[in-house]
Chains A and B, each alone.
Chain A
Amino acid sequence: MSGPNTQYDPVEVSALDPEAIEANVTAALGAFAAASTLEDLKAARLAHQGEKSPLALANREIGALPPSAKADAGKRVGAARGRVGAALNARREELEAERDARILVEETIDVTVPSPYRRLGARHPLSLVTERLEDIFVGMGWEVADGPEVEAEWFNFDALNFDPDHPARAMQDTFFVDPPDSGLVMRTHTSPVQARTLLQVDTSQLRKELPVYVVVPGRVFRTDELDATHTPVFYQLEGLAVDKGLTMAHLKGTLDHMVRALFGEGTTTRLRPSFFPFTEPSAEMDFECFACHGKDTACRTCGGTGWIEWGGMGMVNRNVLLAAGIDPDVYTGFAFGMGLERAIMLRHGVTDMHDIVEGDVRFSAQFGMEI
Chain B
Amino acid sequence: MRAPVSWLAELVDVPSGARGADIAADLVKVGLEEEGLYGGEITGPLVVGRVLDKTDEPQKNGKTIHFCHVDVGPHGQMLTDGVPQEIVCGAHNFDAGDLVVVVLPGATLAGGFAISSRKTYGHPSNGMICSAPELGIPGDGSGIIVLTDWFKDEPDVLASLEPGQDAMPLLGLGEEVVEVNVTPDRGYCFSMRGIAREYALATKSDSLRDPVRIAVPPPNDTGYEVRIEDSAPVRGVLGCDRYVARAVRDVDVTAASPRWMATRLTQMGMRPISLAVDVTNYLMLLTGQPLHAFDLDTLSGAIEVRRARPGETLTTLDDVERHLDPEDLLITDGGAVPLAIAGVMGGETSEVTPTTTNVLIEAAHFDPITVARSSRRHHLGTEASKRFERGVDPEMTAAVAQLAVALLVQYGGGTADPGVTDVDRRTPIEPFPFRTKLAWELIQPPESSGGIAPPDLTQAAVIAALRSLGCTVDVLVATPAEVPMDVPAGAPTGGASSDAADWVTVQVTPPPWRPDLRNGPDLVEEVARLRGYSLIPSVLPVAPGGRGLTPARRATRLVAATLAGLGATEVVSYPFIAPELFDQLGYDAADPRRHAVRLANPLSAEQPLLRTGVLDTLLGVLRLNVNRGAKDVRVYEIGLVTQPGDDPGRAPVPPVGIRPDDATLDAIVDAVPPQPRHLGIAATGEAVPAGPSGGGRPVTAEDLVGVALSVGRALGLSLTPVAATQAPWHPGRCAALTLPDGTIAGYAGELHPKVLTALDCPPRTCAAELDLGVLLAAAGDPVQAEPLSTYPVAHTDVALVVDEQVPAGDVETALRAGAGAELEAVTLFDVYRGDQVGAGRKSLAYRLSFRAADRTLTTTEVNAARDAATAEAATRIGAVQRA
Whether B550 and A204, one on each chain, are in contact in the complex, defined by CB atoms closer than 8 angstroms, is yes
- A169 to B42 Cα, complex, angstroms: 41
Knowing A225-B603, A273-B525 touch, does A153 contact B184 (C-beta < 8 A)?
Answer: no
* Segment at the interface with A among B245-253, B635-643, B727-735: B635-643
Q: How would residues 12 to 53 of chain B score, 1 for a CB under 8 Å from any chain A CB and 0 otherwise?
A: 000000000000000011110100000000000000000000
Residue of B nearest to A309 (CB): B33
Q: Please tell me which one of the listed residues A116, A121, A161, A184 contacts residue B567 in the complex, with CB atoms under 8 A apart.
A: A121
- Asked if A342 is at the interface of the complex by the 8 Å CB criterion, the answer is no
- Shortest Cβ distance from residue A127 to the other chain B in the assembled complex, whole angstroms: 6
- Shortest Cβ distance from residue B721 to the other chain A in the assembled complex, whole angstroms: 21
Q: Please tell me which one of the listed residues B553, B624, B630 contacts residue A358 in the complex, with CB atoms under 8 A apart.
A: B624
Contacts of B28 in A (CB 8 A): 272
Q: How would residues 310 to 341 of chain A score, 1 for a CB under 8 Å from any chain B CB and 0 otherwise?
A: 00000101110011110000001000000000
- A238 to B497 Cα, complex, angstroms: 37
Whether B649 and A114, one on each chain, are in contact in the complex, defined by CB atoms closer than 8 angstroms, is no
Contacts of A177 in B (CB 8 A): 597-600
Whether A275 and B185, one on each chain, are in contact in the complex, defined by CB atoms closer than 8 angstroms, is yes
Whether A127 and B534, one on each chain, are in contact in the complex, defined by CB atoms closer than 8 angstroms, is no
Whether B184 and A148, one on each chain, are in contact in the complex, defined by CB atoms closer than 8 angstroms, is no
Whether B540 and A257, one on each chain, are in contact in the complex, defined by CB atoms closer than 8 angstroms, is yes
- Shortest Cβ distance from residue A246 to the other chain B in the assembled complex, whole angstroms: 6
Knowing A121-B566, A151-B672 touch, does A247 contact B599 (C-beta < 8 A)?
Answer: no
Q: Please tell me which one of the listed residues B372, B540, B564, B572 contacts residue A250 in the complex, with CB atoms under 8 A apart.
A: B540
Q: Please tell me which one of the listed residues A123, A201, A272, A319 contacts residue B669 in the complex, with CB atoms under 8 A apart.
A: A201
Whether B687 and A175, one on each chain, are in contact in the complex, defined by CB atoms closer than 8 angstroms, is no
Whether B600 and A176, one on each chain, are in contact in the complex, defined by CB atoms closer than 8 angstroms, is yes
Contacts of B544 in A (CB 8 A): 141, 211, 213
Q: Please tell me which one of the listed residues B536, B575, B651 contacts residue A248 in the complex, with CB atoms under 8 A apart.
A: B536
Contacts of B290 in A (CB 8 A): none
- Shortest Cβ distance from residue B246 to the other chain A in the assembled complex, whole angstroms: 30
- A131 to B533 Cα, complex, angstroms: 30
- A144 to B549 Cα, complex, angstroms: 6
Contacts of B648 in A (CB 8 A): 182
- Shortest Cβ distance from residue B865 to the other chain A in the assembled complex, whole angstroms: 37
- Shortest Cβ distance from residue A159 to the other chain B in the assembled complex, whole angstroms: 8
- Shortest Cβ distance from residue A119 to the other chain B in the assembled complex, whole angstroms: 6
Tell me the residues in window 93-129 of chain A with beta carbons closer than 8 Å to chain B beta carbons: 113-114, 116, 118-124, 126-127
- Asked if B2 is at the interface of the complex by the 8 Å CB criterion, the answer is no
Whether B656 and A161, one on each chain, are in contact in the complex, defined by CB atoms closer than 8 angstroms, is yes
Whether B601 and A223, one on each chain, are in contact in the complex, defined by CB atoms closer than 8 angstroms, is yes
- Asked if B369 is at the interface of the complex by the 8 Å CB criterion, the answer is yes
- Most chain A CB inside 10 Å of its own CB: which residue of B389, B443, B521, B524: B521
- Asked if B158 is at the interface of the complex by the 8 Å CB criterion, the answer is no
Contacts of A143 in B (CB 8 A): 546-548, 550
Knowing A127-B570, A250-B539 touch, does A116 contact B691 (C-beta < 8 A)?
Answer: yes
Whether A165 and B372, one on each chain, are in contact in the complex, defined by CB atoms closer than 8 angstroms, is yes
- Asked if B785 is at the interface of the complex by the 8 Å CB criterion, the answer is no
Contacts of B443 in A (CB 8 A): 247-249
* Segment at the interface with B among A4-12, A16-24, A44-52, A359-367: A359-367
- Shortest Cβ distance from residue A266 to the other chain B in the assembled complex, whole angstroms: 13
- Shortest Cβ distance from residue A129 to the other chain B in the assembled complex, whole angstroms: 12
Contacts of B30 in A (CB 8 A): 273
Whether B442 and A248, one on each chain, are in contact in the complex, defined by CB atoms closer than 8 angstroms, is yes
Knowing A118-B688, A154-B652 touch, does A123 contact B184 (C-beta < 8 A)?
Answer: no
Knowing A131-B557, A178-B598, A256-B538 touch, does A154 contact B445 (C-beta < 8 A)?
Answer: no
* Segment at the interface with B among A31-39, A65-73, A79-87, A281-289: A281-289
- Asked if A170 is at the interface of the complex by the 8 Å CB criterion, the answer is yes
Whether B650 and A183, one on each chain, are in contact in the complex, defined by CB atoms closer than 8 angstroms, is yes
Whether B525 and A282, one on each chain, are in contact in the complex, defined by CB atoms closer than 8 angstroms, is yes
Contacts of B306 in A (CB 8 A): none
Contacts of B445 in A (CB 8 A): 245, 247, 249-250
Residue of A nearest to B675 (CB): A148
Whether B600 and A179, one on each chain, are in contact in the complex, defined by CB atoms closer than 8 angstroms, is yes
Knowing A123-B570, A211-B543, A365-B569 touch, does A322 contact B651 (C-beta < 8 A)?
Answer: no
- Asked if A290 is at the interface of the complex by the 8 Å CB criterion, the answer is no
Contacts of A322 in B (CB 8 A): 657-659
- Asked if A1 is at the interface of the complex by the 8 Å CB criterion, the answer is no
Contacts of A119 in B (CB 8 A): 567
Tell me the residues in window 571-616 of chain B with beta carbons closer than 8 Å to chain A beta carbons: 571-575, 597-603, 608, 610
Residue of B nearest to A245 (CB): B445
Whether B570 and A122, one on each chain, are in contact in the complex, defined by CB atoms closer than 8 angstroms, is yes
- Shortest Cβ distance from residue B644 to the other chain A in the assembled complex, whole angstroms: 8
- Shortest Cβ distance from residue B730 to the other chain A in the assembled complex, whole angstroms: 23
Whether A213 and B543, one on each chain, are in contact in the complex, defined by CB atoms closer than 8 angstroms, is yes
Whether A247 and B539, one on each chain, are in contact in the complex, defined by CB atoms closer than 8 angstroms, is yes
Q: Please tell me which one of the listed residues B183, B524, B534, B574 contacts residue A274 in the complex, with CB atoms under 8 A apart.
A: B183
- A183 to B443 Cα, complex, angstroms: 36
Whether A176 and B570, one on each chain, are in contact in the complex, defined by CB atoms closer than 8 angstroms, is no
Whether A204 and B552, one on each chain, are in contact in the complex, defined by CB atoms closer than 8 angstroms, is yes
- A247 to B630 Cα, complex, angstroms: 53
- A213 to B599 Cα, complex, angstroms: 33
- Asked if A369 is at the interface of the complex by the 8 Å CB criterion, the answer is yes
Contacts of B557 in A (CB 8 A): 131
Whether A150 and B642, one on each chain, are in contact in the complex, defined by CB atoms closer than 8 angstroms, is yes
Whether A247 and B441, one on each chain, are in contact in the complex, defined by CB atoms closer than 8 angstroms, is yes
Contacts of B572 in A (CB 8 A): 124, 126, 219, 233, 356-357, 359
Interface size on A (CB < 8 Å)? Answer: 108
Whether B688 and A116, one on each chain, are in contact in the complex, defined by CB atoms closer than 8 angstroms, is yes
- Asked if B560 is at the interface of the complex by the 8 Å CB criterion, the answer is yes
- Shortest Cβ distance from residue B515 to the other chain A in the assembled complex, whole angstroms: 12
Residue of B nearest to A166 (CB): B184
- Shortest Cβ distance from residue A331 to the other chain B in the assembled complex, whole angstroms: 12
- Asked if B58 is at the interface of the complex by the 8 Å CB criterion, the answer is no
Q: How would residues 213 to 231 of chain A score, 1 for a CB under 8 Å from any chain B CB and 0 otherwise?
A: 1000001000101000000
Contacts of A181 in B (CB 8 A): 650
Contacts of B533 in A (CB 8 A): 248, 270-273, 283
Knowing A281-B524, A360-B628 touch, does A120 contact B565 (C-beta < 8 A)?
Answer: yes
Whether A134 and B442, one on each chain, are in contact in the complex, defined by CB atoms closer than 8 angstroms, is no
Whether A142 and B183, one on each chain, are in contact in the complex, defined by CB atoms closer than 8 angstroms, is no
- A168 to B368 Cα, complex, angstroms: 13
- Shortest Cβ distance from residue A28 to the other chain B in the assembled complex, whole angstroms: 46
Knowing A118-B688, A121-B565, A124-B572 touch, does A165 contact B369 (C-beta < 8 A)?
Answer: yes
Whether A168 and B184, one on each chain, are in contact in the complex, defined by CB atoms closer than 8 angstroms, is yes
Contacts of A114 in B (CB 8 A): 689, 691-692
Q: Please tell me which one of the listed residues A113, A138, A245, A317 contacts residue B549 in the complex, with CB atoms under 8 A apart.
A: A138
Whether A254 and B601, one on each chain, are in contact in the complex, defined by CB atoms closer than 8 angstroms, is no
Contacts of A318 in B (CB 8 A): 519-521, 657
- A177 to B671 Cα, complex, angstroms: 12
- Shortest Cβ distance from residue A357 to the other chain B in the assembled complex, whole angstroms: 7
Contacts of A134 in B (CB 8 A): 549, 553
- A368 to B564 Cα, complex, angstroms: 9
Whether A182 and B625, one on each chain, are in contact in the complex, defined by CB atoms closer than 8 angstroms, is no
A/B interface sample: 29 pairs, CB < 8 A: A113-B692, A118-B688, A120-B567, A121-B570, A123-B560, A127-B560, A138-B546, A138-B549, A143-B550, A148-B673, A149-B575, A152-B651, A171-B184, A175-B603, A199-B659, A241-B541, A243-B541, A246-B541, A248-B536, A249-B539, A252-B539, A270-B534, A273-B29, A281-B529, A323-B659, A357-B572, A359-B625, A362-B630, A364-B570
- Seen from chain B, the residues whose Cβ lies within 8 Å of a Cβ on chain A are 28-31, 33, 183-186, 368-369, 372-373, 376, 389-390, 441-445, 448, 519-522, 524-525, 528-529, 533-534, 536-550, 552-553, 557, 560-561, 563-575, 597-603, 608, 610, 621, 624-625, 628, 630, 633-640, 642, 648-660, 665, 668-669, 671-673, 675, 687-689, 691-694
- Starting from the known contacts A213-B546, A249-B539, A360-B628, 18 additional A-B residue pairs (CB-CB under 8 Å) come to A114-B692, A116-B691, A118-B687, A121-B568, A123-B560, A127-B560, A142-B543, A150-B675, A152-B668, A175-B603, A177-B598, A178-B597, A182-B650, A213-B544, A253-B541, A270-B533, A275-B184, A280-B525
